[in-house]
Structure 1
Amino acid sequence: MTGIQPELWVGRAAEAIAFYEAAFGARVLHQVGEGDDIVAQLAVGDAAFWVSPGGACGPRFSPQAIGGTTGRTLLVADEPDAMFAQAVAAGATAASEMANEHGWRLGRIFDPFGHEWEIGRPLGPWPPA
């Protein structure tokens, strides 16, 4: 099996897990630790990612610790407008509203922990011919 499962470093792991559950309907696949000393594997649909405390095992910094972010995560959803609205209702900040661009229906948010997310779906067959 081959796949990519990003790990998001956060300052408040327990709150982050609760946010991703509320915002994206994430479910916890695996979790060790407690409080903010948690490492957890979450899934949204078939897509898995990890949440862990920044700085727990060396120089790992949350976006809040560095005052910015070094990347963006694309969350592909069947109903991106609904997921975008759900994420904002759960506490995310809209960076750009949902719109059709580059062959996708897309919107961008920042989660309460500083991570940038793009929520969308292709408007037609992907990748294009």
Structure 2
Amino acid sequence: MGTVTPYLCAKETAAALDFYATAFGAVETSRWTDPSTGSIGHAEFTVEGARVMIADEWPDGGVYAPDPGRTSVSLVLEVDDVDGFFSRAIAAGATVDRPVTDSPHGRGGWLYDPFGHRWHITAPDDTVTKDDLQRAVGDEYEIS
């Protein structure tokens, strides 16, 4: 099975890296800084075992940060302690999109980081079957 590594863009990547370290416990593993502009052309960090890449905007290449509250992509991050992780992120400056709740497939909540990226912080319940989910949603969805 392959993996997908998200490559984010931020208007202020240095500040984003600081946020992810504080809010998510991220560990920065690489940073490429343009010495003439201070722009970060590429950086990498890990959080909860997941690798994430990030860079400053690059208009010449058509790469832009998301508009706050308007993004077509959400990042799903599985953690052991959803409530603690979520609270730490909110205290560091993230905003709640959907509060942490229990659902048929586990516990989780949605937030926006200060750089416009939407994250689903979740602890899925791996014991839940498709039949369990179908019973939970009833006729609202057909789960295959």
Q: TM-score interval w.r.t. the shorter chain? A: 0.7 to 0.9
How many pairs does the alignment contain? 127
Higher relative contact order (CA 8 A, sep 6+): 1
| 1:52 and 2:49 aligned | no
Gaps in structure 2 of 5+ consecutive residues: 131-144
1:14 touches 1:38 (CA, 8 Å); kept in 2?
Answer: no
Gaps in structure 1 of 5+ consecutive residues: none
Distance 1:54 1:36 in 2: 9
User: Alignment RMSD, CA only?
Assistant: 2.0
* Structure showing the higher strand proportion among its residues: 1
- TM superposition score normalised by structure 1: 0.88
1:6 touches 1:49 (CA, 8 Å); kept in 2?
Answer: yes
- TM superposition score normalised by structure 2: 0.79
1:92 touches 1:111 (CA, 8 Å); kept in 2?
Answer: yes
Which has the greater radius of gyration? 2
Whichever residue aligns with residue 48 of structure 1, its letter is R
Deviations 1:78-126 (A, max 9, x none): 0011000000000000111100124120111000011100101112437
SS where residue 22 of structure 1 aligns?
Answer: helix
Distance 2:88 2:74 in 1: 19
Greater alpha carbon shift after TM alignment, 45-54 vs 105-114: 45-54
Aligned residue among 80, 83, 86 for 2:85:
83
Identity among equivalent positions (%) equals 31
Distance 2:89 2:69 in 1: 22
Aligned residue among 120, 124, 127 for 1:125:
127
Match of 1:42 in 2: 45
Match of 1:69 in 2: 71
